[in-house]
Amino acid sequence: MPRHIDKKSEKDSPKPSFRRRILVWVLNICLLLGVALCGYVLVIYLSMPSLDAILHETRPAAVVFLDKSGNEIRSANRIMGTPVSVETLPPHVWQAIVAIEDRRFFTHGPIDIRGITRAALSNLASGRVASGGSTITQQTAKNVFLSREKKISRKVQELILSYWLENRFNKNQILDLYMNRVSLVGGLRGIDAASRAMFDVPATRLSIGQAVQIAAMLKAPTTYSPLRNPDKNIARARTVLTEMVRQGYITINQARTAAQSLSPAVGVSDTNLYRYWTDFVMDELKSRIGAFESDMYVHTTLDMNVQDRIAAILPQKVTQYQGAVVAMSPDGALRAMSGGTDYQVSQFNRVTSPRQPGSAFKPVVYLVALENGMTPDAYVNDSPFAIGDYNPKNYNERYYGDITLATAFAKSVNSVPLKLTETYGIDSVLDMAGRLGVGTKLRREYSTVLGASEMTLLDLTNIYAVIWNDGKSVRPYSITRVTDMLGNTLYERNPSDPVDVLQPQTVEYMHALLRDVIAPGGTGGRARATNVLGGKTGTSNENRDAWFVGATDEMVIGVWVGKDDFTPMDSSITGGTIPAEIFRDIIAK
């Protein structure tokens, strides 16, 4: 049956009011905006990298080099300081940070509505952005996870991360994360790194004054740096002290005492003094343990006092040329190394670069003669010598005729070691060099006897170390132990027993010969000092290389002077001049 439609009822039904239509329209728009906003936030969230991956970000393993006494020399790859926490730090360190950066940190959530409101009102009153309302949690999210780009998407990411951090960690853990990741000084991260860089102390030893100076930097590290802008830093540090008193962290008397201690930061000493050394040790470290991924301490044999003396003396004595010095204990422990006059100018390590040792090689030949029964007072003939086309002359082209072996050695004549080689054979000389650690690197020819075969300063010094190690074998070493940051041993030197290379009588005779070199009339007279046991000079053809290797009771020191391009130096430069003087000045104290 057809439905009856009441036209009157249909006509009289009320239509939606204009106000209602507007409300529906607004609700739809809000719904669409809400969906769009949720979608935008979701897209940003999905585009973020793994939070856990960033939290445990990978970086080059930091290597901290220590000297023979356990003092820190410098570090490599260390972009972060030693991890610190609320529990391990003196309370005033983290209290200074909270007091100036986020006074309500322990009571508010991821964001601080009161802080944001207060900052907004302050900015409106001043007509500029004078203060911000970011919490430590927000700053941690920004420092740890985000770039410094000023985009809306980055701010959204910051809020998301702030809520994530507050849900995953407690307040102390977030503060720890902030203190260990905040960037304050030259790319270094963490307050411990800043503490070491500016005050040369770990964060665990910061005084109240030093702590507030670091806290003062958090607002703008460069602007409030105690290194670059000490006046601004000290002024803001006083503000930090005021806040700490107001919030009950320290007493007024403590604040007054700390205020009196505020001063510009000096910064750490120039560690370039040790760069040749640490570069060398790093190479040895890799050869010992291979690739490494964890932070570690490398305990080395360096004597910082000796290294400092070498670093001060070498540039003063060598001005027109280049120079290198290596010092070791007779057992092979390397005590100091400088591969050039200035690491900033040239990083090339001349200690490990092969050059011609000249007459500094001659002890090897004399050791052969001594081992075959000759004595220092045995007579030899100094006269012109030739074998085939090879006919070298003495340095001053003067010949002394019949002289003792000791005199020939002290005056460094050329004919006598050549004649000794002819008598005992070139193979005997090369065999002796091999026993001393360098035989496989030498050419089998007579010019080798006079130092024409290249070797490094380290190898040459090692030859003399054997002589002053009572004739026992020596293997140079720079690392004694490697540990991780918790003290667990990763590597420890386990030396084998030394082998007798030279007979006691041979060693005694050679000591006498080396002592005569530094006596009046010897070529090494300028190296003479009360604590010098002996030494030997060496000068290669056309004065391209000048050497001196000498010893005291404690060390064997090798010195080289020359030019990197192998061109001749001034004819007055020999092993008995600048190199001998450098040696003498190093061991003077």
Q: Is the C-alpha dihedral spanning 517, 521, 525, 530 positive or negative? A: positive
- Residue 5 has a pLDDT of 47
112 has pLDDT over 80: no
- pLDDT in the model for residue 290: 81
Q: pLDDT by residue (tens digit) across 297-352?
A: 999 999 999 999 999 999 999 999 999 999 999 999 999 999 999 998 899 999 99
- CATH class of the domain whose range is 83-261: mainly alpha
Residue 538: per-residue pLDDT: 95
pLDDT tens digits along 417-455: 999 999 999 999 999 999 998 877 799 999 999 999 999
Q: How many CB atoms lie within 10 A of CB 31?
A: 10
| Half-sphere exposure for 341 (CA within 13 Å, toward CB) | 17
Least confident interval from 285-299, 404-418, 504-518: 285-299
159 Cβ contact list (under 8 Å, min separation 6): 110, 111, 138
For CATH 3.40.710.10, the residue range(s) in the chain are: 311-586
Residue 53 pLDDT grade (very low, low, confident, very high; cuts 50, 70, 90): low
Say whether pLDDT at 22 is over 50: yes
pLDDT at 12 over 70: no
Residue 498: is its pLDDT beyond 80? yes
Q: pLDDT above 70 covers what percent of the chain?
A: 83
Q: Would you say residue 201 has pLDDT above 50?
A: yes
Domain with CATH 1.10.3810.10 in the chain: 83-261
Angle, CA 321 vertex, CA 320 and CA 325 arms, to 5°: 130
Residue 1 has pLDDT above 60, yes or no: no
pLDDT for residue 67 is more than 70:
yes
Mean local confidence (pLDDT), 98-112: 86
Beta bridge partners of 483: 297, 489
82 vs 227, residue with greater confidence: 227
Encode pLDDT of 208-225 as tens digits: 999 999 999 998 888 999
Residue 146's pLDDT is what? 47
Please tell me the predicted confidence (pLDDT) of residue 38.
Answer: 61
Q: What pTM did the predictor assign? A: 0.72
The least confident of 7-11, 71-75, 138-142, 512-516 is 7-11
Tell me the pLDDT tens digit for each residue of 119-146: 555 555 555 444 455 888 888 877 665 4
Check residue 294 and give its pLDDT.
Answer: 78
With contact defined as beta carbons under 8 Å apart, do 186 and 198 qualify? no
Burial class (CB in 10 A: 0-12, 13-18, 19+), 27: exposed
State the residue for tokens 């970086």.
Answer: 59
Q: What is the pLDDT of residue 486?
A: 81
Considering the four listed CATH numbers 3.40.50.300, 3.30.700.30, 2.60.120.380, 3.40.710.10, the one that applies to the domain covering 311-586 is 3.40.710.10
